[in-house]
Structure 1
Amino acid sequence: MDNSKRTVVVTGFEPFGEHTINASWVAVQELKKLGLGKDIDLHVYEVPVEYQAVQSLVPSLWNQYHPQLVVHVGVSGMATTVTLEKCGRNHGYKGLDNSRFCPHSQCCIEGGPDCIDSVIDMESVCKRVTASGLGVAVSVSKDAGRYLCDFTYYTSLYLSRGRSAFVHVPPIGKPYNEVDLGRALQAIVQEMLDLLDQAEGKIHCQHVH
């Protein structure tokens, strides 16, 4: 195995409700075609819209790949921009999933903090991607919606101590096509990796002195 390569895992979701084609998984497959450059080993997964599946899948991705970063992508019928989520929330999961289940506790991790922020500065990612002239509008949000998206994000943030990200995409054609969304994801993930590198560079510098 080439140790100079870094691993990134990106997930999308299966269809649910009125989203008979889930734009998140379409966008992630498009990203896989584009890749993240030769130094990044990119793995993509389609996540079931089921709380119990998420509870087993997310830890297994971290354990199997020890990724530098995990980015979860979901669809939002209300979104008109590609939206970077700053944090995941632990409580308030009342919506039934694709197997008609919701957690009895209505929370992700019993005893976990109410809210966990990503270590990635989403405002910074948003500014950089916007400035790159991609032609896809990007915004930042503090509420991932208390359904499987938020549930997955919180679980991942908890396991990774914040080294996760979540991106909401609008449905296909409202207004962006799959190629636009794939390009947007590529730009976003590359900026996230750059920011992580800078943060780690600063940590190493502090150790040296």
Structure 2
Amino acid sequence: MPLQNRVQPDGEIIAHPARGSFMGNRGILHDENGLHPKRRWAHQNWVCCRLRFKGRRRKLMAPRHYTELFFLDEAVAFAAGHRPCAECRAADYRRFRACCDSPGPAADLDRQLHAERAVPRVFRQRRHGDVEAQDLPDGSFVLDHDGQSGVLLGDALHPYAPEGYGAAQRRPQGRVTLLTPPSIVAAFRNGYRPQIALARD
């Protein structure tokens, strides 16, 4: 049975057998029974990590160790509010920070991102009102007019599913609900290109 550790772009954490291409960390979110029914973060430095680094091996959801979370790709991790890890993804972290409008310490960026991604005390993702779809950069995750989440790339929206993206659709016209935190969208505008798990990648 798959563990409940697969993060969705809308902030939900589900059990799904498909493998992700990135791992993440928000602290200890599980106990001996699995993922806690309500707890969705234990600290504010939510990171997105490589699956392999220096030969390290972990037992998933081990007692008293952080909960390993997984993402289809980097765009999903960003939509959920994670940033590149400064250790295992040092080069990506430096590129991301160079594109951020938050030049201070990492803790300052993490506080800013946390205010943008999380609704306090109710453990759910903050959505970002109605924004003009045509104004959003590639890599941004939105909810379309039918409530389907997808990533924008060029003139298309690629509908999200845990096992991968569906057939490309025309980029929505007009206003949509933004899932990706605004500070991360700003980094995309400034030149950071998130990894998106499309067939041509």
Greater share of helix: 1
Question: One fold, TM greater than 0.5?
Answer: no
Give the number of the structure with larger relative contact order, counting CA–CA contacts within 8 Å between residues 6 or more apart: 1
Greater share of strand: 2
